[in-house]
Structure 1
């Protein structure tokens, strides 16, 4: 669907927004503004990564915005992000995306209210709005990280944590990758005709990049802690089992000796032979117990 959100008589520039693009709309717009066919193909690829390409009369930008998909196991580019293709020139902007987005509607209202004085100003606002879609997901990732940290350290019953942390790591790493690939876009916008607004966009980009870098690093640390805690719990279990086996080793030895079917054995015919052997076994158990306590193993 093609919409004209700004026109030259009212805004001194044109803004054409196309969502759920049709072949006729795309090529009619390309012919009107002289857009390259290969760039049109890039704008229609659903999994294309962020890029900035300067042509002779306009610039072509692909930016990926974060989706509202809160599925735990969403970890691919298409599941976590949507693509917005932007053709930018001094007198026009063309945006192409597959689904309608609220941020486009908000920016369209701002243009109608006269809050965008040029296409450069509008472009900066579009990029800033796209960056803002990564803000709330970072908070969600931070809360999830706190949950898994609590589960690892404070809960004795193991939940299926490893799978959840794997998808958490995938999400953080994927967003980091999208932000890293978007650096050229932010840098070019701020360097071309930079002002307070573009520097604010760069500051937001740097802040989000630092947040996701920290999240990714913390998730990696948490995974290492998870494996260390799991290994520690396994070691504790093995230690307890080893202690019990040490208690029973001498008792099993004594019982094994007296379990042999020989007629001539010490104390075999003694009236108090059985309680004496039991007493010796109790004494041995107590000696092992106190020895372990003295060594600090219990």
Structure 2
């Protein structure tokens, strides 16, 4: 409960001050939270080469101010357009003085199980700074902030490329959480298919398939992007950090394999659903067949004595009606007994 309240407080602060600036090295850390206009004049990483800078935008609503900020950093016009349109496939784009790329993040959606929460995040990596742009207010990087503030690990003594690695790692962790969430939903669906095989269950299975398909489309380009980072030959990425990005690539491969496994499980549940429905239909047909088998001879007897011929000796017999009813009762009972002994009236478990 405390953690939820803390997260709500953080999100509220992000809405009021949508830009966060972390300015740090091994000995210094300052955190500034303001609107975009403030950083048009106060973000000057080129004047502080001994410090690393992380500027994180939690909203893209103030397009005019963000455009002016990008012009201040001499960001190419095409990049500025891509920040707001986001139509390109994720790939590393190298320019003079900086590198740009965008990816799609995903977060667990606890409120419902039919929608994948996605958000596009863009990065501009310079010599001693990293600028990240999020489409809306959401906290993807709490662990990164904690590492900076608590001086955990070596993030404070590394360059912006290592900070980028930590942020990409946080995003892949979000992918893992989404897969785990879908996996827990699949366990629930498996029990529902067995106990309550309704059409609603099949729809939920299809929703999970769609979510896994979307997640795979998101992760696959990330794997290629991390591979481009590993192969990049420039001064933005330190060779000593190459193995971290290789680990990210391996994590993406593992996630894709796990997604395929979960999709196979869902395909199996779909087959199980149709098999269960077929079994129920067979049970219904068996009951209808037994009823028909019981009433066919009775219908024959009734039909014979309902032909209204003038000369039918049994029609004038005093006890003919009672004998006919008794005979039909015995015949029906005998058939039901035979069907029961053969197991045709028992429900399959």
Q: TM-score under structure 2 normalisation?
A: 0.74
Q: Relative to 1, partners in 2 of residues 1:169 and 1:11: Cα closer, same or farther, differing over 3 Å?
A: farther
- Match in the other structure for 2:76: 36
Aligned to 1:187: 227
C-alpha separation between the residues in 2 aligned to 1:69 and 1:10?
41
**How many Å apart are 1:186 and its aligned residue?**
2.1
Cα distance in 1 for residues equivalent to 2:72 and 2:270: 53
RMSD across aligned positions (CA)? 2.8
Change over 3 Å in CA distance of 1:109–1:34 after alignment to 2: farther
2:131 aligns with one of 71, 78, 94: 94
Asked whether the equivalents of residues 4 and 16 of structure 1 are also in contact (C-alpha less than 8 Å), the reply is yes
Residue 308 of structure 2 aligns to a residue in which SS? coil
CA shift at 1:227, angstroms? 1.4
Contact residue 155 and residue 162 of structure 2 kept, 8 A: no
Moved more, 144-153 or 88-97: 88-97
Change (3 A) 1:42 1:167: same
Q: Indicate if the aligned counterparts of 2:108 and 2:177 stay in contact, CA closer than 8 A.
A: no
Alignment partner, residue 289 of structure 2: 242
Residue correspondences, number = 293
Counterparts of residues 75-94 of structure 1 (less than 5 Å): 75=115, 80-94=117-131
Is 157-166 or 181-190 further displaced after alignment? 157-166
Deviates more, 1:170-179 or 1:93-102: 93-102
1:152-198, Cα deviation, whole Å (9 max, x unpaired): 11x25747312222222221221121112222122223444454422
- Distance in 1 (CA, whole Å) between partners of 2:114 and 2:344 is 46
Can you give the 5+ residue segments of structure 2 that lack an aligned partner in the other structure? 1-17, 24-44, 233-238
The partner residue of 1:149 within 190, 204, 211 is 190
Aligned to 1:177, what secondary structure does the other structure show?
helix
Residues 1-298 of structure 1 aligned to structure 2 (within 5 Å): 1-6=18-23, 7=45, 9=48, 12-21=51-60, 22-45=62-85, 48=87, 51-57=90-96, 58-72=98-112, 74-75=114-115, 80-111=117-148, 113=151, 115-116=155-156, 117-153=158-194, 155=195, 158=198, 160-192=200-232, 193=239, 195-289=242-336, 292=339, 297-298=344-345
Question: In structure 1, the residue corresponding to 2:136 is in which secondary structure?
Answer: coil
Q: Which structure 1 residue ranges, 5 or more long, are not aligned?
A: none
The answer to whether the 8 A contact 1:50-1:182 is kept is: no
Q: Tell me the SS of whatever aligns to 2:191.
A: helix
Distance 1:287 1:103 in 2: 72
SS at match of 2:321: helix
Q: Distance in 1 between matches of 2:217 and 2:292?
A: 52
Q: 2:33 matched to which residue of 1?
A: none
